[in-house]
Amino acid sequence: MKISVFGLGYVGAVSAGCLARDGHRVIGVDPVPAKVALINDGRTPIIEKDLDVVIERTVREGRLTATGRAEEAIGDSELSLVCVGTPSRGNGGLDLSYVRRVCEEIGVALREKTERHTVVVRSTMLPGSMRDTVIPTLEEHSGKRAGADFGVCINPEFLREGSAVFDFYHPPKTVIGEIDRASGETVAALYSGIEAPLIRTDVETAEMVKYTDNAWHALKVGFANEIGNICKELGIDGHKVMQIFCRDTKLNLSPYYLKPGFAFGGSCLPKDVRALCYKAKSLDLDLPILNAILPSNERQIERGLRMIMEKGSKRVGVLGFSFKAGTDDLRESPVVEVIERLIGKGYELRLYDRNVRLAGLVGANRDYILNRIPHLSRLMVGSVDEVVDFADTVVIGNGEPEFRAVPSRMRDGQALIDFVRIVEGATRGGYDGICW
């Protein structure tokens, strides 16, 4: 394939060199003459392991060249990768000026081109950037329509500085956000020889994936550092602790818990986070990540409460109020907290949870209901139907399987608020998911 790569920094230079190494004919484009000269002389414009060898060889074999002229590159390629920087503005916002400028140049060049061309953005951009900036700019300056007259995709990169060449050939995943099928097929062909999960999705999801990855990586670094700081003050080897922590790939390093939904609760997580933060405070440690966990959880409870109140009805039914499905544990259940606040605001409620039946409860849970929340027992009913028949707003509080049929049993005019995504893709009128 004939490919042009706009921007010869870390992402662009690595992408250009590796694609040329794979047998494609690549033209690098950069406004900095020194970078263009280095490439054409067979030298790398950046310091990156193995890239010097890749560029020297591909230039010598005639598969990689560079230019400062966009129209030349577009005229001699069928696909363009946009790899320019997206730095921060002074206020923390994203600066898309380089992306916009390159899209203007590409658009002007496309105006005179008769063959179909595909524009692929590898630059990291916030959701909405493709729809609001890239596509309108390309269309304005080309006089053509995206998806019809030319293709557009976003293909976020997952390259680490220092191992970028290795990462190009061994990515954790390949993500293609496409506005039309043909464009996605063209981009997917670039990675046909790479063994990695290939995910084709909409452009907004692809844009957000990159930010989710980076925020998670940053959070992991900060989390490990805060645990390490506590360990140091207690005379514990923090590396040993985290090595053992990372051995757990069932819960710790896994998709478990990483699903948007309602707040956490139960007898373990709240009290243990609270105790750890108290211990850190007693050691005069300032740990903003750990200290933010419980306040963040409280914000999700407030979000759920606000969603219910915004529906405008005082008749509310709650299905499932133990802290998670398959248990009768009500201790620090976030759904119970929502119920308490609704009662305090004068709402009429009916509650159902097959696992929370007063007659069958013993020990701590029975004591908790009778002595801490006795008023809830008077609101409990014996079936899902009693809740659905009573309420104008129905809340699904946990993921009990029997609640999956609830959306189909709702009547017109009823609101359904889902804290757990009980049904994938529920789109009936009145349905509202807390994080989707």
Of 153, 268, 277, 435, the active-site residue reads 268
Q: How far apart are CA 159 and CA 122, in angstroms?
A: 11
Determine the number of helices (DSSP H) and then strands (DSSP E) in the chain: 18, 13
For this structure, is 268 an active site residue?
yes
Q: What are phi and psi of 134, to 5 degrees?
A: -65, -55
Find out whether 2 is annotated in a ligand binding site. no
Find out whether 205 is annotated in a ligand binding site. no
Q: Supply the DSSP symbol for 151.
A: E
Contact present, 230 and 285 (Cβ < 8 Å): yes
Find out whether 201 is annotated in a ligand binding site. no
Q: What are phi and psi of 32, to 5 degrees?
A: -90, 110
Residue with tokens 């405008």, as numbered in its chain: 312
282-289: list long-range contacts, CB under 8 Å, 24+ apart. 283/230, 283/233, 283/234, 285/226, 285/229, 285/230, 285/233, 287/226, 287/229, 287/230, 289/219, 289/222, 289/223, 289/226
Contact present, 402 and 384 (Cβ < 8 Å): yes
Find out whether 324 is annotated in a ligand binding site. yes
- Per the DSSP assignment, residues forming a β-bridge with 29 are 6, 67
Find out whether 86 is annotated in a ligand binding site. yes
Q: Supply the DSSP symbol for 380.
A: B
Q: How far apart are CA 188 and CA 18, in angstroms?
A: 16
CA-nearest of 306, 345, 315 to 414 is 315
Find out whether 367 is annotated in a ligand binding site. no
DSSP per-residue letters across 58-93: HHHTTSEEEES-HHHHHHT-SEEEE----PBPTTS-
CA-nearest of 140, 138, 171, 133 to 15 is 171
Q: How far apart are CA 432 and CA 422, in angstroms?
A: 11
Find out whether 35 is annotated in a ligand binding site. yes
Find out whether 30 is annotated in a ligand binding site. yes
Find out whether 210 is annotated in a ligand binding site. yes
Find out whether 158 is annotated in a ligand binding site. yes
Find out whether 260 is annotated in a ligand binding site. yes
413-417: list long-range contacts, CB under 8 Å, 24+ apart. 414/388, 415/311, 415/313, 417/304, 417/307, 417/308, 417/311, 417/393
- For the chain, the residue count is 436
Query: 221-232 burial string, b = 16+ CB within 10 Å, else e?
Result: eebbebbbbbbe
Find out whether 344 is annotated in a ligand binding site. no
Query: What is the distance of C-alpha 67 from the center of its chain?
Result: 36
Find out whether 116 is annotated in a ligand binding site. no
Find out whether 160 is annotated in a ligand binding site. yes
Residue with tokens 């220092």, as numbered in its chain: 162
Q: How far apart are CA 407 and CA 352, in angstroms?
A: 16
SS3 319: strand
Query: Binding site for substrate: which residues?
Result: 158-161, 210, 257-261, 265, 324
Query: Binding site for NAD(+): which residues?
Result: 30, 35, 86, 124, 161, 271, 331
Query: Binding site: which residues?
Result: 30, 35, 86, 124, 158-161, 210, 257-261, 265, 271, 324, 331
Task: Give the catalytic positions in this structure.
Answer: 268
